[in-house]
Structure 1
């Protein structure tokens, strides 16, 4: 009897304990259910939902297709040609264009094997440029001119160009790392110029009041080292932009030894700080070089009365052209 009573007592205690636990759990659930949603919590949940929706829209939005269509529409409206193999324009990170061919005119073709663009999408939407663009194997072909830049880098901040090119304001730095001048039109007194190695180039440009000010410009080739200064007055037709430039040059030592006739021509030009300089006027399409000094020097060398004195040891052999050194 005692054992049976003990078992009944134990079962009653366990049942009582279980009932107490169940009551506590029910009370907890009841308490949780009774907690109301505040306005702040509702706004937080709505904000999270909207944020995820916007994120999915951005990730799924066909931005690259929109950009391709925009480029095609823009080029058609301006009667120019722009073709490319592939284009990558992620929302974040570096943009890329593979193998583009741009033809602003029927005679001019610009090509690049790879173009890396580090610009902000928001700036582009607002018609602003603030960042860097790098070109690999960038070439220019226009008529008899053909130039290849292995690496061309443009960095700066520009705005205002969406209205007219001449309204552009800002700064730009241009860096050139190696390349080749494949061919140029015949140059007076020089003749054919081709296969000239480009060593490096650097330009600091400022766009102000419809002008491009060349604050500093240098361009080194296997023939000459050039320094540029002056301004370009922008026209809405870029090829008609007016030039008011000055180019100063010094010959490379190796080239001076190989072509003393051409290197010597620099001695005839006006000198500034030990460099020979030529003013350039006209337009980008039709630049005008003031070569009066070179022409006069050539006429002097072609004068028969002077050729008779070509054996004079006091005459500088460098400034003679190659024809004047030949025997009759």
Structure 2
């Protein structure tokens, strides 16, 4: 169980008793269009991490260092490291829950609790939970300090990593309680469905009713929340993945609007990502829909987008411009 889950990554969770603020729908204008684009592309970068994660699931390759960005699968590398601390399934009695405490390589500790029903394959009900206490580890080439709890449970399907019979189909349910990774705090929950169609290729479908993160290291420190969020990643060639995204983005970025605002996001054409070059975006489009307004981002070159602004929502763009992914990153 550990070997599979270690490749799969994690999600977010937690919550508060305080009433959640209500977002107002954003009006997209010429003044905020680049900041809106930056937020939308950041979500797409999260999608490229899922593409990378999907590649790691079907090929056994570790999630790359390029994956260390805020997003719904930021915990992929974290789970890879922390789940390696769990007791090996063959050493456990079937149906038994075992808890171990581990000292982290750079200081601090992690408590790992594992329940397994089979010594060879993962099946519904199998689960791993980890609580990190100032746990310092090297993840994706960077030394980070981890705190909080992370849990993964098999929700449906089964997976035998040694079997050569395909397809393999497994759904993981993941939550995290106030999980922090240095400056990034994540909360929410998500399901991750993994379908391995061959020894090399497969797909990942992530669904999250609510997933949020905040990175205190960004120039514009703010929280991003994805609601009713789904993306589907098909890893169909050695170096590319195709991504489809839909959902609502809420943000309190002062660069975008006043207070908490929201916009809808989808992919009219699937985003195409080169997984061998740090998740380079090489094709596809993103549609951002606000209050009586819209913005279409079309990939016109490697990590380069054409922006078409429809400021009055009549379906006809009033302005067109070009921006690179690197330029957009400076707005976050």
Pick the TM interval, shorter chain: 0.3 to 0.5
Give the number of the structure with larger relative contact order, counting CA–CA contacts within 8 Å between residues 6 or more apart.
2
TM (norm. structure 1) is 0.42
More helix by share: 1
Report the structure number with the largest CA radius of gyration: 1
